[in-house]
A and B are shown apart, each in its own frame.
Chain A
Amino acid sequence: MTQHSSPMPPVQPPGAASTGDRWSGRALAAGIRIGGLVIAILIVIVVFTALSKPNTFLTFTNAVGILRSMSTIAMVALGLTLVIVVGEIDLSFGYVYGLASILIGVAWIIWGWPIYLAILLAFAAAVVVGSINAFLVTVLKIPSFIVTLGTGQLVFGTTLLVSNTATLNPAYPPVGKIVPKDQVDWFFGLSNQHLPFDIPMQAIWMTAVAIIIGFILSRSLFGFRLKAIGGNPAAAELARLPTVKYKFAAFIICSLLAALAAMLDFAFIGSVQPNAGVGLTFPIFAAVIIGGASLAGGRGTAIGTLSGALLLAIIANGLALLSAGSYLSNFVSGAVTIAAVVLDRFTQSLRK
């Protein structure tokens, strides 16, 4: 400290430097978080196995079913995690999901477009909505909560307008419309390939998305800066981080993943109706929050969000097997979400 005249000290070799550098408080807290989620998931599995009739809950078929049922929530929640990490909120993704699926249906079945162009249109629409959200948030500086609350309704209105509130099914097109058989097969094949062990196609898509978002959040410059911007926007501005560009990217990716989930669900179910996606807002937010992302920004992981979605899917599945009634499902998922935040506060305070 007091040797003013000494030259710059020698640089430590990289290997030696990492001694005593292994576990930081933050990494430990993140570890506790994921560990806690794994324990919660195990407890829920044990409880449902005990409560349910033999050979209903803890079976391979049911596990595969859970994997499929969580995939929609997980994919959109992974996109939402980016938006939350950068310190914003998106409430419009559920409606983007609805618009995307309706656009594919209408353009393909009613307008007679090739399926590939119809899908392109749906993704383009998602990019437009994401861009409008980001523009209003970054350029006009309107809080994202208000922006996306509004754009969500605009998008929903558009969906109703475009669909004419009709349910569409490519296998049974309206009178006078023809849908080529090869396109129907290709489209349904997006979610219904016969894979070994009956693994659902959507789980493969989900895994791919999770790997990409996981890379973004923990291994990319983009993710590093998203965390910085979300952690302290004022400092990010002084450091000249590309805040506007990155927020555009986060909102667009979130919308795109909503469109992807919509397309895959349409392909799996085989039909589409304009109300699709309306009920997604809560479970997707719940997955992100249970996964440990901070609504204040700057914190969130792909593995956490994925675990959050898994926990919710197991609970929904288990309660359904017990024929518990849907109100109980609402009770439990609401309680679990709040409990997750309470536990989070607790572990955070332990760290201090």
Chain B
Amino acid sequence: MTIRMRLTLWYAGILILSLLVIGIGTYREIDEQMRHDHRRAPTEHAIGETSEMVFQVGLPAVLLGLLGGWWLTRRALGPVKKLTDAATKIHERNLREPLPRTNNGDELDQLTKVFNDTLARLDDSFMRIHEFTLHASHELKTPLTILRGETETALRDESLPPAERERAASQLDELRRLARIVDGLTLLAKADTGQITLAMEPVKLEELVRDNFADAQILAELQGIQVELAACEEITVCGDRHRLRQLLLNLADNAVKYNQSQGKVTMSLRRVDNTAEFSIANTGAGIPPEMLPRVFDRFFRGDPAHSQTVDGCGLGLSIAQWIVSAHNGTIKIESATMKPTTVTIRLPLEEFPRGKA
């Protein structure tokens, strides 16, 4: 029950109670007066007269009071409603936009101010985390460059014994993986701090999808996975060509990696409700429903045992999500255990997205 409803009911109760008090008071007064005037059968008459007065005067007054009460609470709580509407729009990315204030210094204005201050502090904390990630990934690059370079130098040494060579080669593989993680982290940290500008241009999506389809077929070949392009309508969107290709390859690579051998990958590009809809489905082990909301989280691994066998940096879907949202699009994933997994992205057709992520 809303506060407004509750206040109105209380108010109605009080009005009815006061009406009762007025009724009793009026009855006593009339009764007294009649006794004084030595009339007969004063009681029944007094009741009739009182109820007549109460109904004719009191009831309209109560109704008027109720309407007034409704209006009053509505007025008093209006700013709260506005505050609520504004506050529901708050998320991690727009903490810097303060809630609108009336500046009249009343209690609600004070509350808004406190709220805005809290948001600003929260935004500061978020920024500090993002900056920390960015600095951390930058700091990691120099030692990583050295490690990689020196391992490669060691591998070039012809006199290296086979066992040592094996070890160095394995180290180099891990260093490559580490480099990809750091690259992914840097990209996301930059996106978080708004440091990436997308190069927006009209992009023929069908061409990117066909290219991606060809690449996916190649990637899938080894595991005997069949790739199918169910539909590929001609659609042009405004976007960053490189990022969109990265997005598509990312999704295709995932669909192949998290698949069963002799499995299937189906992709399609269609025009749906004024958006470009690209969907890609695979026949993998599926994702349990309780894990679905978290698959876009950074470094989220659905099944720790499975992640050992699949080579990936754990940031692919987070990056995909960022690319889609930077294009003002939506991404969703549908799956269930042992059911096909479908990732669907929708990019706006007409609207020209903003350049900043």
Tell me if chain B binds chain A: no
